[in-house]
Amino acid sequence: MSNADQLIAHTLGIAEDRVTDGLEYQSIREWDSLGHVSLMVAIEEAYGVEVDDDLTLELRSVAAIRGFAAARNAEGTTREGADRTAAGGTVRGAAETPAKAPAGRRTVHRGLEGVVFDQTAVTRIDGAAGTLEYRGYSIHDLAEQASFEEVAHLLVHGELPDAAALEAFAKQLSAARELPQPVLELARSLAHAHPMDALRTCVSALGAHAPRRAAGTDESCDEAREAGIELIARIPMIVAAHHAFRSGREPLRPAEGATHAEAFLTVLLGERPTPAAVRFIDKGFIVHADHSSNASAFTARVAIGCRAGMTAALTAAVAAFAGSVHGGAAERVVGLIDRVGTPENAEAHVAAVQGRGEPVMGFGHRVYRTEDPRVRHLRSTVVELSEERGDTGGLDILDAVAAAMAPYGRHGVAANVDLYAGLAYRLLGLPDDLAVPLFAVGRTPGWVAQALEQQSNNVLIRPLLDYVGPQGRTYPGADAR
C-alpha cells in the first residue's frame, strides 16, 4: 500500500483494504464534509503544500489523491512543479481530471450535491464570500435593524412591510397564537416526550383542525399562505406550552400587544422576559429564519410539491430538521462547554477529537467556506446575556475553542450558527434539549416561504436512483433456498 493510501485510511479511520480507486468523497459515511477537511489538512502536512479551494475540489477521490501524490513524489516533494504557477497556484497533473462514471452508467451526485433543482427568489447564499441575504437584504442589516415580524413578512410576502402592513401582520400573528384546545391537551399528554417529538406530533395535529376543503380540491396559494402565517404564530406556542407542561405549570397568556419574541418567552419561561432575552430571541429568530435549500426546506418543497398542503409540508420539515446531522446537531453542540471544562483545555480537546477522526461540534458547514455570517450576531447577544447574568465562563470556553480551531478555518471549518446559540439558552435557564426546537421556531418563516415558492410554480420533485444490484434473477421455490 502506498503512503497516500495509508494517509487516507488513517485520516478517515477506515481499513486499508477499503482504499480503492472507486472510493470517493461522500461515497461512504466516514468521508463526509468534515472528514474531507481533515484529509486536506493531512495532505498539507504530509506533502508540504497549501491545499487551496481548487485543489480541495479536485481531490475528491482516491484516484485523484493517488495521482496528486505521484506527481508530488516525482517532483521530489518540492513546492515547485512544472505545472504549478510561480505564485503558488494549484498543482496540476493526474488530479486535474475528475473521475468519470463507468461507460453506460449515469453520473451519481450523492446527496444531490451540486445539483441545482430549481430557481429561487427567497434566499441567496455565497458560501465562498460568507454572504447570506433574504430577498436581497443582507443578514447583517436585518439582524441589526429589523424585527422578526418584519423579516417574517419579507419572507412570506416578498417585501418589507410599511408601518400599516407591519401593524396588520403583527395583529394577524397575535390573533393566530391561541392553539386549538385538543392540540393543547395533546401537548400536555406528551410532557414526557422530547420537545422535537412533541412539536412534530402537534404540528401534524394542527392539520386535523384546519378548515375542511371540498373533496378533491387542493389548497390554493392564498390558503397556503394563510395556513403558513398561522403556523409561524402557533409553532412557538407549541414549543412553549409543551415546556410549561413538563415544568409542572400552566402556560401563561402573553400580554396584549406583545411582540413575537416577548409572547414566546413569556409562555416558555412562565414570567416576563428581560430586554436582553427578548433581543437575543428576536435576533436568533432572524438569523435562523431561512437558509435556502437545506434538508428540511427541501423536504417541505417535496411535500407541498405533492399537493400535500402547508401543514403537511411543515410537519415533514420538522421531522427532517430533528435529525442529528441537520438541526439536531444544535443539541449536541451545547455539551461542548461541559466536555472542554475550561478555556485552558480547548487546544487539547480539539487535538483529541481530531485525532479520533471526529468533528468538533459547532464548527463547519456544508455551504460556507468562510465565517458563517450568522455567528457574529448570536455571539454579540450572548456577550450581553453573559454580562447581564454575571457569568462569562461559557463564553470564554467557546471563544478558546474557536481560537484552537482557527487552522481549520481556511478549509471552511469555522464556527457555525450552532456554536453560541446553546450557551444563550443555558443563560436563559433553559434545558439543552430546547436548542433544536428554538432553532425550528425561527426557521418556520423560511419553510413557509420555500413551500409557497414551490407551490406557485410547482413541478413534482422526482429524482432518479442508479440501480447497481443484481438483475434477471430466477425465483427459487421455498425448498430450494
Alpha helices in 82-209 (DSSP H): 139-145, 148-157, 163-176, 181-189, 195-208
pTM of the predicted protein model: 0.79
Give ∠ CA 296-302-304 in degrees, rounded to 5: 105
One pLDDT digit (tens) per residue for the chain, 481 residues: 678 999 999 888 899 999 998 898 888 878 887 788 888 888 988 998 888 878 888 899 999 999 999 988 887 644 444 343 333 443 333 334 444 445 556 778 888 878 899 999 999 998 778 889 999 999 999 999 999 999 999 999 999 999 999 999 999 999 999 999 999 999 999 999 999 999 999 999 999 988 777 677 899 999 999 999 999 999 999 999 999 999 999 999 998 899 999 999 999 999 999 998 999 899 999 999 999 999 999 999 999 999 999 999 999 999 999 988 788 766 777 788 889 999 999 999 988 887 777 778 778 766 766 778 888 888 888 898 899 889 999 999 999 998 888 877 777 677 877 888 888 888 888 998 998 999 999 999 999 999 999 999 999 999 989 888 999 999 999 999 8
Query: Is position 126 annotated as part of the catalytic site?
Result: no
Is 274:388 a contact under the CB 8 Å cutoff?
Answer: yes
Query: Is position 32 annotated as part of the catalytic site?
Result: no
E strand or H helix at 423 = helix 418-427
Which is nearest to 372 in space by CA: 435, 418, 436, 423?
418
- 32: its cell numbers: 463526509
Describe the crossing of helices 195-208 and 310-321 by its angle, rounded to 10 degrees: 170
According to DSSP, residue 458 is labeled: -
Neighbour-count burial of 327, counting CB atoms closer than 10 A to its CB (0-12 exposed, 13-18 middle, 19+ buried): buried
Exactly one of 365, 372, 377, 411 is catalytic; name it: 365
d(CA 317, CA 148) in angstroms, rounded, equals 20
